[in-house]
Structure 1
Amino acid sequence: MQVIQWIVNLGASVFLPILLFIFGLILRIRPGKAFKAGLTVGIGFIGLNLVIGILTDSLGPATKLMIQNYGLHLQTIDVGWPAASAIAYGTVLGVMAIPIGIIVNVILLGLGLTKTLDIDIWNYWHVAFTGSILYMLTDNMYLGIFAMVVVTMFTYFFADLSAPAVAKFYGLEGISFPHGLSAPGYVFALPFKWLFDHIPGFNKLHVDAQSVQKRLGIFGDATVLGTIIGLVIGILAKMPINKTLNLAVSMGAVMMLMPRMVSLLMEGLTPISEAANSLVKKHFPGKKLYIGMDSALAIGQEGVLSASLILVPITLLLAVILPGNKVLPFGDLATLPYFLALFAAVFGGDILRTVIAGAVDITVSLYVATWMAPLITKLAKAANYNIGSNSSISALSDGGLWTNFIFLNVGKNFAWIGLAILFVIALGLLYWLNKVHDKKATEA
């Protein structure tokens, strides 16, 4: 376990290149090419984190000013995913999530019940988060471990289910997103797609980045649009003109730089993905294999970024007007692109549809995060995480996930029986998708 903890502490930008290099050698890629591929992915993650840092550093002061100017007094602070991941991996069960996730992945791959070969090991913190909270709720370690198995199975189902849409919309053939925050968003968005497609008039409206640019010319360009949105956020925050202009240019920079950092990730992943698929085609004709990666590969898309920036002030407004909400959005405002990564794939990049469905998702997340606040605060103290002067903390990301609300309530109220039912459901869904559905698709 100490070795695993050491690997986790390296961070994705270090251990992922090492893992990809080893994986590349297994796939018989030349050592030099495998090394360069892994290193490029690591550099891409560093670049992506720098851009996200710009987003966070720019939105942070604007958010604080909005909170002060509009008198937002909510007792629970959203500490964001960095704190939530540190808390998750700092618990008794935290580090166990990685070996559990790997074992479950290998078993499901061996049985043909998933196509996702998950190399995004660091993001097993999402699994650790749920298992650790259930352990704290029930004081039953084995129940917490079983919950992590169930969560992992559902995550692979979501990843396999959404992979065709990821390939079609993002052009990421052979890639899936077994990402604890983004993957459930695909299922959440599907009913809205049906609804939007059946609203007369609205179903003919399509507002993607390309159509906006076509109609607005230079003002529809993604970089210019990001600058305008940054300007609006600065005005809403009543920032001084110099800071408003700095925020505007920073948001424009994010819109321009994010896709370029994502392209670096793809440059490194391409030879690995191609080699993996060639190997599968050679030894397992007719079979598919998805390389499970962080949904960071999708957050640079123009529609995702535009919708995310538009939702920043909307999220703060929702936090104020929703009765019963106690969470003040802050740390996870910069995480909104991860919320929406698969929404955009469902809606074909339609910004308006993504914003509307995203607002509903955030509404649900605020209420779930409010419910989770006492649990996350207690878990943080158990993990010896310093919550500073805050008496209550939560996280809009994993703390607000609708799936976590289900897993935790079922585990708490129905214990082994409830989780066993969820296990059977997950198994059935994986079997249907990877056996029944695939067979019908092949026959057709």
Structure 2
Amino acid sequence: MNFIMDIFKWLIAAGPTVMLPVIITVIGLIFGLNIGRGFKSGLTLGIGFAGIKLILDFMTTNVGPAAKAMVERTGVHLTALDVGWGSIAAVTWASPIIAILIFAILIVNIVLLVLKRTNTLDVDIWNYHHIAIVGVMVYFVTHNMWLGLGATVVMAVITFKLADWSQPVVEKFFKIPGVSLPTVSALSSLVIAWPLNWLLNKIPLFRKSKFSIRDAQKYLGFFGDSMIMGLIIGMAIGALAGYDFVKILQLGVSMSAVLVLIPKMTSLFMEGLMPISDAAQKWSQKKFKGRKLFIGLDAAVVVGNQDVITTALIIIPLTIAMALVLPGNSVLPFADLAVVPFRVAMVVALTNGNLLKNIIIGLVVTASLLWCGTATAPVLTAIAKSVGIKLGANSLLISSFAATSMIQSFIVYLAFTWNQVILIPVLLIVFGLIWYYFDGVKKINGSSSEEVSAEA
């Protein structure tokens, strides 16, 4: 156990750019690729991820200060500072029960695969912290390891099933075959997006609307080009931040670069994934006749989509404005504003790029992040202090757009920390009914998985 955990610690410490090539190479060998081809696929994915990370870091460096400046210009002081997902990940990995939770997530995935209750083989180990943080917080509040472990197991099962059900949407919109996205930071938005999209489809204005970023480009002509749109949006953010003209232009060019460069980096994922995806399908057809396996990857593979980035750049200033007036909110958005693309990626895919729906659903999602982040900020702050994380002096409390600010995580956290005798059974029954509906009723009626996702 210690030896295996040491290996995981080494991989995690090396970061996803090292961990992803290693894991993909091993997966490739399992699926029958020779070591040379498997390693090349893994390395290609690692290079693509490194490129995306560099561009996202570049985006964070430029958008972060501008977003902070926009908030400071309002003169509003909120009591919980958004310190970013990286700080939350550090809190998670510092927990004394993290080893148990990580192995629990792995075991749940393996058991569900063996029992044919999921088709997602989750290799996104780096992002297991999104699942584990719920168990960490439950354990901290209840002082009960079994409740913490139970919360993590429930989170894992829900995550893998959501990844299965949303896979056709991912494949159809992002054109990535054989891949699912079990990254909670992106996936959890579907808990809100699915029912809200269904509701909007009942309203003629939204049901008939087909307006997308591509349509905007067509109607706007020169101004609809991705690099021009990036320039305009970046300059608008700079103007709202009160920058001088030179800085406004610099931010505009920076955002233009983001819209142009990220799609080029994400194309490397397709190149690296195809051999693995093909091998996985052949392997699954041989071992499990009539069954398809999906490789579960980090949602970073899709956040470079032009619709996702543009939607996120529109949502960011609107989220800041909303945080200032939203009743019951105490969170000051800051560090995680740059990862808004992760929170809206699945929304964009679900609506098939409908810009009007993307903005409305995206704002509801970010509103939930603010409310849930406000509710759990005291606990998150206490945990950070308990593991020796330095919080700085700018805020009494800390929060994030990660951890239990995400609606899926918040629901599980609430069930396991407040009136467990009632809420845990209710949670399990409701999720069981949803599971039965998707994997039982719909299949009996002959609906394809793509139809199931579309109807949801």
- Fold in common (TM above 0.5): yes
2-side partners of 1:111 and 1:22: how far apart? 22
Alpha-carbon distance, 1:2 to partner: 3.6
- Partner in structure 2 of residue 87 of structure 1: 91
Q: Which moved more, 1:285-294 or 1:329-338?
A: 285-294
Identify if the C-alpha distance between structure 1 residues 439 and 291 changes in structure 2 by more than 3 Å, giving closer, same or farther: farther
Partner SS, residue 63 of structure 2: helix
* Secondary structure in 2 matching 1:201: helix
Match of 1:211 among 212, 215, 229: 215
Match of 1:371 in 2: 375
Deviation, structure 1 residue 441:
3.0
Compute the RMSD of aligned alpha carbons: 1.9
- 1:153–1:427 contact (8 Å) kept in structure 2: no
Match for residue 344 of structure 1? 348
Task: Please show how residues 198-277 of structure 1 align to structure 2 within 5 Å.
Answer: 198-277=202-281
CA distance in 2, matches of 1:16, 1:304: 23
* Cα drift, residue 410 of structure 1: 1.2
Output one character per residue of 1:73-108: Cα deviation in whole Å (capped at 9) or x when no partner: 112110111111111111112233321111000100
Tell me which residue corresponds to 1:300.
304
Within a 5 Å distance, the mapping from 1:383-394 to structure 2 comes to 383-389=387-393, 390-394=395-399
Aligned partners of 1:404, 1:184: CA distance in 2, in Å? Answer: 8
Q: 1:404 aligns with which of 403, 409, 430?
A: 409
Match of 1:422 in 2: 427
Amino acid at match of 1:260: K
How many angstroms does 1:434 deviate by?
4.0
Q: Secondary structure, in 3 states, of the residue corresponding to 1:152?
A: helix
1:25 alignment partner in structure 2: 29
Q: Does 1:395 pair with 2:391?
A: no
Query: Which string of whole-angstrom CA distances, capped at 9 and with x for unpartnered residues, describes residues 417-441 of structure 1?
Result: 6435534654564455445544543
Hey, what's the Cα distance between the residues in 2 that align with 1:251 and 1:43? 22
Name 1:117's counterpart in structure 2.
Answer: 121
Moved more, 328-337 or 421-430: 421-430
Q: Which residue of 2 aligns with 1:144?
A: 148
Q: Secondary structure at the match of 1:393?
A: strand
* Farther-moved stretch of structure 1 (89-98 vs 57-66): 89-98
Indicate the residue corresponding to 2:454 in structure 1.
Answer: none
**Which portions of structure 1, spanning 4 or more consecutive aligned residues, are displaced by more than 4 angstroms?**
423-432
1:169–1:117 Cα change, 3 Å: same
Aligned partner (choices 124, 134, 139) of residue 135 of structure 1: 139
> 2-side partners of 1:437 and 1:90: how far apart?
42
Instruction: Give 1:63 deviation, angstroms.
Output: 1.6
Which whole-Å CA distance do the structure 2 matches of 1:32 and 1:288 have between them?
25
- CA-to-aligned-CA distance 1:225-283 (integer Å, 9 cap, x gap): 11100010011111011111110001011111111111112211111111001111223
Q: Distance in 2 between matches of 1:134 and 1:340?
A: 27
CA distance in 2 between partners of 1:429 and 1:157 (Å): 10
Gaps of 5+ in 1: none
Residues 408/399 of structure 1: CA separation in 2 closer, same or farther (3 Å cut): closer
Identity across matched positions, percent: 39
Which segment is superposed worse, 96-105 or 154-163?
Answer: 96-105
In the TM superposition, 1:57-96 aligns within 5 A as 57-96=61-100
Contact 1:115–1:434 (Cα < 8 Å) also in 2: no
CA distance in 2, matches of 1:72, 1:267: 47
Q: CA–CA distance in 2 between the matches of 1:210 and 1:235?
A: 26
3-state SS of paired residue (2:295): strand
CA distance in 1, matches of 2:72, 2:189: 31
Change (3 A) 1:36 1:197: same
**Aligned mates of 1:228, 1:284 — CA distance in 2:** 51
Is the CA contact (8 Å cut-off) linking 1:97 and 1:128 kept in structure 2? yes
Of the structure 1 ranges 423-432 and 207-216, higher mean CA displacement relative to structure 2 is found in 423-432
So what's the TM-score if we normalise by structure 1? 0.95
The SS at the match of 2:185 is coil
Q: Alignment partner of 2:446: what SS?
A: helix
Q: Does 2:285 align with 1:281?
A: yes
Residue 10 of structure 1 corresponds to which residue in structure 2?
14
Distance 2:181 2:377 in 1: 27
Rounded Cα–Cα distance in structure 2 between residues aligned with 1:29 and 1:416: 49
Q: What is the TM-score normalised by the length of structure 2?
A: 0.93
Q: Partners of 1:106 and 1:436 in 2: how far apart?
A: 25
Partner of 1:98: 102
Give, in angstroms, the shift of residue 122 of structure 1.
1.0
2:173–2:349 Cα contact (<8 Å) kept: yes
Tell me, what secondary structure is at the counterpart of 1:315? helix
Picking from 316, 319, 323, the partner of 1:319 is 323
The answer to whether the 8 Å contact 2:404/2:413 transfers is no
CA distance in 1, matches of 2:58, 2:341: 14
C-alpha offsets along residues 49-75 of structure 1, whole Å, 9 cap, x if unaligned?
101011100012212221222213112
Instruction: Report how many aligned residue pairs link the two structures.
Output: 444
Matched, 1:310 2:310: no
